[in-house]
């Protein structure tokens, strides 16, 4: 069965994830460093990890695998998820792939170096309705693709 692992502390698309999970009857793990309200649904599990550095990422990476979906804006977590065989989707609806993750990791490193040198790089753009729509579409397509693959295999 497909599980969705949500890197939830700064995730702006939790409501969309719950909607898709309900449609397909999927298990959702909402992983965060602090208490987050989740719907009262037996398929949605709140997981509060310690506040150690990358604790939520580590919890997800240790569990997500083949046939699962990880929703995260964290590029290293997306990389770890892909290496474990899971699908990884950013909160703006861009799916990370084995062919795109290398460039994403390099861009992240470049931005980190620029910030360390004092360059102002700004934060992420605010979520737009188009981003939410793209996320819903990508999540739905990913679920359907994984379901087809599990039936074929």
Q: What is the pLDDT of residue 56?
A: 94
* Candidate CATH numbers 1.10.287, 1.10.3470, 3.30.300, 3.40.50; the one for domain 3-152: 3.40.50
Q: In this structure, what DSSP letter does residue 97 have?
A: -
Output the pTM of the full model: 0.86
Q: What is the pLDDT of residue 99?
A: 75
Listed in sequence order, the DSSP H helices in 25-128 are 55-63, 75-83, 101-116
Residues of the chain with pLDDT under 70: 102-115, 119-124, 153
Q: What is the pLDDT of residue 92?
A: 87
Count the neighbouring beta carbons within 10 Å of the beta carbon of residue 51: 10
Cα separation, 13 vs 135, whole angstroms: 8
Give the CA count within 13 Å in the CB-facing half-sphere of 38. 25
Cα separation, 90 vs 74, whole angstroms: 8
Q: What is the pLDDT of residue 9?
A: 86
């Amino acid at each position: 069965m497909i599980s969705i692992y949500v890197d939830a502390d700064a995730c702006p698309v939790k409501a969309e994830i719950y909607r898709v999970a309900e449609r397909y009857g999927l298990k959702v793990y909402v992983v965060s460093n602090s208490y987050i309200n989740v719907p009262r649904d037996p398929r949605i599990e709140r997981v509060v990890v310690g506040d150690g550095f990358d604790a939520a990422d580590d919890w997800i990476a240790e569990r997500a695998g083949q046939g699962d979906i990880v929703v995260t804006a964290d590029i290293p977590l997306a990389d770890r998820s892909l290496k474990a065989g899971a699908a990884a989707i950013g909160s703006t609806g861009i799916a990370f792939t084995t062919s795109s993750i290398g460039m994403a990791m390099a861009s992240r490193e470049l931005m980190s170096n620029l910030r360390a040198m004092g360059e102002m790089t700004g934060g992420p753009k605010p979520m737009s309705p188009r981003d939410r729509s793209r996320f819903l579409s990508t999540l739905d397509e990913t679920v359907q693709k994984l379901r087809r693959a599990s039936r074929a295999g």
